[in-house]
Structure 1
């Protein structure tokens, strides 16, 4: 199945930088409708497949832009590609779901928790279907004990799913400054947002200002602002897409910030 990968390296190419610069000027950063919510405890029907190695972690990067984070805990083996109806042009990135197989002949009653890190736009995920493409490890965990291999041999499975809060014990929210960022074009990627997991809007505030400047959603979990010269340190305010909760990290990005660096806040929604 083809899917968009390797976006984490895209900022290194000059042409793409120019395209994103122009797009950032006009992108709409306003929240969209969230669809399935955390308060909805009902299970909804869908289908699921798996990709990668049979016992592997699945995605290699992915369309959300998390890059190598998908290969290490707490994301490791919990990654999932979802169809466009859940991906929401990237605004669904970071959301967490419980997925459970419904075939009682081989599936346990146990649900697996996955984090949206990728999109599967075609194949099983086309035509408005609600579909999950899971890592081999996550897919196999839905089976009764010892039958993970047999379950993977089934290919596509009927499943049920529902939203669930994201939990990153011991982790605070972090902001990765994307490659290519400058004093006039700043691009941030949100990491380890617990609770809703998704982002509806982002703002930054310069140290010498009381004004919150709106950032625009570009793709995946990436947001940007074109303005300048921007002077750090920067505070970042994030509002979730699903419930509209807000968190402000004061001066989280220092005055001497640099592209490709990650800056961790002292906060998270469950802290």
Structure 2
């Protein structure tokens, strides 16, 4: 009986280890690395489709992710990431925005050099972390902070009026994801889906003529719901144009 008791105790400890890794203030254990050299900037051609916005957002503290990418719906999500080498790592860590997809050596985050350096306490510690290349981290999702920006719809550069329209949604705040986009088809009096082309780029061939009304499916802690843009994409839209939806997500 004594042997069985000790065996049961060992099983309990083993089963608790994964829970301990995720229970501290909702952090999840993982690994992180960086791309390029320490002097590199963020990638403007990431799989999310953000373009130059992806290099400037959050002062270039961005990351590519693997399973957190979630077929593109994870684009634009914000995370607090902190490394676990007490000698070098800052207690708060880095605040990063997802702008790309990437797979590393059992890593969830492939960070821009600027973001990776912010894991460290100071410049000397940062230099040491870059020598490691890959570090153990813990992370949690946090609300995106855009300082009062509404959601912006940008017409993708491959769009061509009136035959093909592709859009990118920018400044999605809070901890919500945009998981679908629909446009209003006036002659049929119904909402019709846009296709997720890649990342956060949604498109449609032969879009409606005239002004275009959009609505967005939002997924988050409040469940799944639709929000309708308070403005239109005007009939004279062209590639590169941006439209303020007058929507904010908290």
TM-score interval w.r.t. the shorter chain? Answer: 0.7 to 0.9
Distance in 2, matches of 1:253 and 1:130, equals 39
Distance in 1, matches of 2:185 and 2:236, equals 13
Shift of 1:91: 2.0
Distance in 1, matches of 2:186 and 2:127, equals 55
Match runs of 1:8-27 below 5 Å = none
Paired residue for 1:78? Answer: 61
After superposition, the CA RMSD in angstroms is 2.3
- Contact 1:58/1:135 (CA < 8 Å) preserved in 2? yes
Shift of 1:184: 4.2
- Contact 2:33/2:107 (CA < 8 Å) preserved in 1? no
Shift of 1:63: 0.9
Structure 1 gap ranges (5+): 1-39
| Aligned pair partner of 1:219 in 192, 195, 198 | 198
| DSSP 3-state at the match of 1:240 | strand
Distance in 2, matches of 1:42 and 1:103, equals 19
Which moves more between the two structures, 54-63 or 107-116?
Answer: 54-63
| Aligned pair partner of 2:143 in 165, 172, 177 | 165
Match runs of 1:101-250 below 5 Å = 101-121=83-103, 123-124=104-105, 129-146=106-123, 147-178=125-156, 179-196=158-175, 198-206=177-185, 210-228=189-207, 230-242=208-220, 243-250=223-230
Q: Name the structure with the higher helix share.
A: 2
Distance in 2, matches of 1:76 and 1:210, equals 43
- Contact 1:216/1:224 (CA < 8 Å) preserved in 2? yes
Distance in 2, matches of 1:233 and 1:51, equals 42
- Contact 1:206/1:231 (CA < 8 Å) preserved in 2? no
Equivalent residues, number: 223
Shift of 1:225: 2.3
RCO comparison, higher one (Cα < 8 Å, 6+): 1
The alpha-carbon distance between structure 1 residues 248 and 132, as it changes in their structure 2 partners (threshold 3 A), is same
Shift of 1:61: 2.7
TM-score (norm 2): 0.80
Which moves more between the two structures, 60-69 or 232-241?
Answer: 232-241
Rg comparison, structure with higher value: 2
TM-score (norm 1): 0.74
Shift of 1:262: 1.7
The alpha-carbon distance between structure 1 residues 255 and 41, as it changes in their structure 2 partners (threshold 3 A), is farther
- Contact 2:93/2:120 (CA < 8 Å) preserved in 1? no
Paired residue for 2:236? Answer: 256
Structure 2 gap ranges (5+): 1-23
